[in-house]
Amino acid sequence: MKCAWSDQPKDAPQLDESPFTAAPTQWGTPNDRELRRWLSVLVHGSLFFSSAGISLVVPIVLLIGSKDWVVRNNAKEVLNLQISLIFYGIGVLALIVLMGGPAIILVFIMVLLSILCPILAIIHCLQDPDTPFAYPYIMRPLT
């Protein structure tokens, strides 16, 4: 016996219509997408804790431990940003030694960018968790 609105027999097992059941999507379940979103935010947000060493530990752990390609690419991008900031800092320090006072403005620009870039990355990850964020103007030794 069949239902009037469906091709399934009336006595066929019914699907669980619970709102707590995750419906599969193109990227896996919605819970996977949320996990991807928050792990990516965690990776980029770890840059604010650089003095505690967390900014290196979190991306390395997620790069090694995560199987999600978006989280892995975000972790690589954070590590690439940190490597770039180290090299840029060495260059700015050399310019300060050579030029003196006027080059100190570059320090303020670097600090501003090291705060602004992670904020933009976090906003991007919250809005679109399915694409990794790419920092502009950095070296990418980890590809």
- Check residue 32 and give its pLDDT: 83
Phi, psi of 25 (to 5 degrees): -125, -175
- Bridge partners of 9? 2
pTM of the entire predicted model: 0.74
- Check residue 104 and give its pLDDT: 86
Residue range 69-113, pLDDT digits in tens: 999 999 999 999 999 999 999 999 999 999 888 888 998 998 998
